[in-house]
Amino acid sequence: MRRVLTALFVFTVSALAANVRLYLKDGTYQIVREYTVQEDRVHYYSVERSDWEDIPLALVDLKRTDGEIAEHKAALEEESKVVAAEEKVEREQQREASKIPQDPGVYQWIDGKELRILRLAESKLHTNKRRSVLKALSPIPLVSGKATVEVDNPHSNYNVENDTPEFCIQLSAEEQFGIIHLLPHDNIRIAAKVTILPVVKEVVEEPEVVEVFRKQLDANGLYKIWPQKPLEPGEYAVVQFTPGKLNMQIWDFTWQPGAKYVPLPPEKTTAKKP
């Protein structure tokens, strides 16, 4: 029986392709590449002297030696499982990323089968005197004072179905992005409070940011984001922006327990006159 077990451990040592400690009963050890039990002696390859040697079996602590090999083997097997699991997740993410349109925007995969596209909401800068539509590439004249970035309507038409939604965002530029809480106010939702400083006309935006996890899916600006903690029921948005530039792009959504996803009708387009 001992010879059978020893043969298994020899195979283990060779399979691990690593040096092991051959423990002696006095507490010392030899670093060996492999070993076998031959009658009353242990035949081993000494790493230190690069040669085969023999030592009386009575001097060798096989139990400790074999136990350490078994522990090492178990650790490698566990590490192999972790690596395999990570590679599986990476392959799934690559497949998921390959199905996301390359057009800038926000998308949501449901159960790996259904791709939903969030619509870009129209945002406005509301000062004491007027409301102006914000455009990413067309800055508006600034007047010192307080303002708010707003989105029309008290609720989004896009309902997510759980409190930890995952979104994919294809960036249109190297800017900040994340999830913010939209604050309902009358018939609009406030995306950020804004202070426009006098003289320098510097803009300070204060959105209510949701802490999120971010994972880059490819090298072309595609990311996955999701909340670090379950969302409270309410109005939210995925955003992309450059601080101080008033160019916030907003893809709004609502989370309400029990809410059902209702596909939005296609966006209307105006035909151009010939």
Greater confidence (127 vs 41) lies with 41
- Residue 272: alpha-carbon gap to chain centroid: 43
pLDDT digits (tens, 9 = 90+) for 175-206: 999 999 999 998 999 999 998 887 666 888 88
- Both tokens of 60, joined, read 């060798």
C-alpha dihedral sign at 120, 186, 154, 230: positive
| CA count, 13 A, side-chain hemisphere, 92 | 11
Q: Could you tell me the CA-to-CA distances from 88 to 80, 91, 182 in Å, in that order?
A: 12, 5, 36
Q: Say whether pLDDT at 26 is over 50.
A: yes
Domains of the chain (ranges; CATH) run 2-96 (2.30.30.100), 103-255 (no CATH)
Please tell me the predicted confidence (pLDDT) of residue 90.
77
- Both tokens of 66, joined, read 């074999």
- Closest by alpha carbon to 127, among 53, 71, 201? 201
- Residue 74: CB atoms within 10 Å: 10
Q: Say whether pLDDT at 120 is over 80.
A: yes
> Quick check: helix, strand or coil at residue 246?
coil
pLDDT digits (tens, 9 = 90+) for 160-180: 999 999 999 999 999 999 999
Greater confidence (94 vs 31) lies with 31
Please tell me the predicted confidence (pLDDT) of residue 11.
43
